[in-house]
Structure 1
């Protein structure tokens, strides 16, 4: 993995005070200057911060999705229930607006050439797909995308029986009628069914601007 020698995050602003007779708040000025202090991040810190913030983001999305699924009132209508899985309903747009990060979820059985956020993301997806097919371990992954971005990837695991109602075995957890209804609304359902509990079904990609990795994100 290639690294950049260092990244400086922040900006410096010169303060000029005119003798207007106004008393300056030295404590406030000191705090302001501290908040504007240039922060140096080593390549190792950059990787560690990407891993920490990426894991926090992906786990938050997993938890938020499961909570929304469990709270949905009409679980008998799988088409409506499945709409809860839409990324926009999970708040990815607000995270992008606040932190500048790009989040995507890719299915392991679908070819994502037109969907992956970058060539690096496509290569990572291919490695995850291979590991899934060979039943090999699938761990979180951090890659330097380019001079501006870092990429965090993590497998999406089918960790709840709730998810089996749409993604389980057709004819077992998912009856044929419901499967046909889901497929009519979601054409990719063919590649999103016949999974078992704790099996990887996709991956999270979180693309971070490097200049936003100096401080932890407050995701709630």
Structure 2
């Protein structure tokens, strides 16, 4: 009986060893990247804000140029209205997908937009006040919760975006709103570190 038990145990052990061989785990580049991303890294709030500022500045520059060019070329009011809603802008859509960023164009009425966080509405109100007083505008970054950063940048008042999209307002104001996930920011920081040449 002992011999039968030993034989059964040996067979079970052989099956377990066979199933647990490293060959069964496929170390694909994607898996390696996921494992690297899961490593604990020390990232300061200042690092995050700097990366959000850099990303926000680059994204708004590109999408603002695309929207400005498209509005300048648009012939009819219907097409212009679509563009002001950020529809049919291929580069904007591609950037949004590539960086995981939600891009919106806000105006004076959004100061009362209850779907926005109270802090965001305060920032918009400050942008509106500056526009009324003809004061310079600077980019702003807000941390809304543990996972989301909001990057805002006002469009220059002389730009056609302000005139065409918000020209009927008492004070034509256009403000970019980029919602950026903290995880995507950290991943972008990791990618930047990897690209830096070793000293």
Q: Can you give the 5+ residue segments of structure 2 that lack an aligned partner in the other structure? A: 1-18, 192-199
| Distance change in 2, residues 1:56/1:138 (3 Å) | same
Q: Please tell me whether residue 206 in structure 1 is matched to residue 178 in structure 2.
A: yes
- SS for the counterpart of 1:157 is coil
Report the Cα offset of residue 136 of structure 1: 2.0
Instruction: Choose from 146, 169, 174 the match for 1:191.
Output: 169
Q: In 2, Cα distance between the equivalents of 1:114 and 1:30?
A: 42
Report the Cα offset of residue 152 of structure 1: 0.9
Counterparts of 1:71-220 in structure 2, within 5 Å, are: 71-72=73-74, 75=75, 77-90=76-89, 99-108=99-108, 110=109, 112-114=111-113, 117-160=116-159, 163=160, 167=163, 190-191=168-169, 201-216=173-188
- SS for the counterpart of 1:136 is coil
Verify the 8 A CA contact 2:111 2:125 in the aligned structure 1.
no
Report the Cα offset of residue 155 of structure 1: 0.4
| Distance change in 2, residues 1:208/1:111 (3 Å) | closer
Which whole-Å deviations, capped at 9, do the CAs of 1:158-181 have from their partners, x for residues lacking one? 454xx28x928xxxxxxxxxxxxx
More helix by share: 2
Q: Can you give the 5+ residue segments of structure 1 that lack an aligned partner in the other structure? A: 1-16, 169-185, 196-200
Q: In 1, Cα distance between the equivalents of 2:82 and 2:31?
A: 50
* Higher RCO structure, 1 or 2 (CA under 8 Å, sep 6+): 1
User: Structure 2-normalised TM-score?
Assistant: 0.66
Verify the 8 A CA contact 1:39 1:214 in the aligned structure 2.
no
Count of paired positions:
170
* Residue equivalent to 2:196: none
CA RMSD after TM alignment: 3.8
Verify the 8 A CA contact 1:156 1:204 in the aligned structure 2.
yes
Instruction: Choose from 58, 64, 67 the match for 1:65.
Output: 67
